[in-house]
């Protein structure tokens, strides 16, 4: 395997693991979240499945898609964190 392909494979795997970690963290926080946040997640999560499947191609496009998906999940996760005070009041 070429050095470029090895680096790409490593980047894709690292990004895929990060995306899975973020997804797990979101699921934990969503357990306490309100319906509107859960609806947002339900729209975002299927796209993550598609990105993870595409990552098996080990292309630059799949690497970029994984990075962008992780950014989307991080943004969503941050919105959960900023809504924690609202979440606890809606329980």
* Chain segment 2-12, per-residue pLDDT in tens: 878 889 999 99
Q: Report d(CA 9, CA 63) in Å as an integer.
A: 9
Q: Where do the H-state alpha helices sit in 31-83?
A: 35-54, 60-82
Angle at 78 between CA 72 and CA 84, to 5 degrees: 140
pLDDT, position 83:
55
* Chain segment 58-75, per-residue pLDDT in tens: 888 999 999 999 999 999
CB of 59 closer than 8 Å to CB of 37: no
Residue 32: pLDDT band by 50, 70, 90 thresholds? Answer: confident
pLDDT, position 58:
85
pLDDT, position 30:
85
Q: Report d(CA 47, CA 45) in Å as an integer.
A: 5
Distance (Å) of CA 61 to CA 23, 36, 54, 56: 21, 31, 9, 11
pLDDT, position 87:
37
């Amino acid at each position: 395997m070429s050095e470029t392909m090895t680096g790409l494979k490593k980047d894709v795997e690292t990004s895929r693991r990060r995306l899975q970690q973020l997804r797990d963290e979101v699921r934990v926080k969503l357990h306490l979240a309100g319906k509107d946040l859960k609806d947002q997640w339900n729209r975002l999560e299927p796209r993550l499945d598609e990105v993870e499947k595409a990552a098996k191609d080990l292309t630059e496009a799949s690497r970029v898609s994984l990075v962008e998906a992780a950014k989307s999940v991080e943004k969503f996760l941050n919105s959960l964190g900023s809504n924690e005070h609202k979440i606890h009041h809606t329980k």
